[in-house]
Amino acid sequence: MKLSDKKRLNILDAAEQLFFEYGVEHATMDQIAKAAQASKRTVYNHFSTKEELFQAILTRMFAQLDDAQELQFNDNQPIKSQLREIAQQEVELLTSERFLRIAKITFMQMLQQPSLAKSIANNEFGCMRYLGTFLQQANAAQRLQIEDIDFAAKQFVYALKGFIFYPILYGFETHSSLNITDIIERNLATFLAQYQSN
């Protein structure tokens, strides 16, 4: 790795930590330079503004999320077990320390920059990258009966977010205080009661 690339990585890591601790609004480029052990000039050579630095952190996060495995529909496996695996993978992502850190930074910044919400909504990550295709294939195999694939995919994921991700993000619950296995099973039962073919 070239020195300039290593410096850029150090700046991103330092900024992510400071944005998490103080918010984008209150963290300064001076603090970021000090934490990254770089000169302020070096920081500005890589990122001309704090907003550009924040966008780079988001871009890096979405790129890392794209590395997650895409689960493919298998007509030889029970649909419930396949959906359970998707749900477990999604919950693992949503409750990971790194994802929660970025989510906290982003939510705080949305209050200052409402247009950010639309930008993030346009980025599909986790199982939303492939869940629509999975459900379409399950439909075609007559394992599910879904009229609105997009709605069903969101229904599947938003239930997990509502019962697991948001309570942890806002500090109402912790990972250990939630019975995640039970939540996944209840959500699967509700989803399949609505969509599974008879």
Q: Give the CATH number, domain containing residue 19.
A: 1.10.10.60
- Domain tally, the chain: 2
- Considering the domain architecture, whether residues 109 and 37 belong to the same structural domain is answered as no
The answer on 51 and 100 residing in a single domain is no
- Contact between 88 and 184 under an 8 Å Cβ cutoff? The reply is yes
14-27: per-residue pLDDT in tens?
998 898 888 888 88
In Å, what is the CA distance from 103 to each residue of 39, 132, 133, 165, 185? 28, 23, 26, 10, 25
Other beta carbons within 10 Å of 193 = 8
pLDDT of residue 194: 97
Q: Could you give the CA distance from residue 155 to residue 144 in angstroms, rounded to a whole number?
A: 15
Q: Round to whole Å and give the CA distance between 114 and 161.
A: 21
Expressed as residue numbers, the domain containing 28 is: 3-59
Are 101 and 170 within one domain? yes
Looking at the fold, whether 21 and 72 belong to one and the same domain comes out as no
Kindly state whether residues 34 and 110 are assigned to the same domain: no
| Domain match, 46 and 75 both | no
Same domain for 119 and 26: no
For residues 127-143, one letter each, b for 16 or more C-beta atoms within 10 angstroms of the residue's C-beta and e for the rest, the string is: beebbbebbeebbeeeb
Whether residue 46 is found in the same domain as residue 79: no
Report the share of the chain in percent with pLDDT over 70: 92
In the predicted structure, residue 192 carries a pLDDT above the cut 90: yes
Residues 80 and 144 in one domain: yes
What distance in Å separates the CA atoms of residue 112 and residue 45, rounded to the nearest whole number? 25
54-78 pLDDT, tens digit each: 888 888 877 776 666 889 999 999 9
Looking at residue 144, the DSSP 8-state letter turns out to be: B
Contacts of 63 (CB under 8 A, 6+ apart): none
Q: Check whether residue 50 and residue 82 sit in a common domain.
A: no
Contact between 95 and 165 (Cβ < 8 Å): yes
Cα–Cα distance, 196 to 198 (Å, whole number): 6
The count of other CB atoms within 10 Å of the CB of residue 159 is 18
Check residue 66 and give its pLDDT: 61
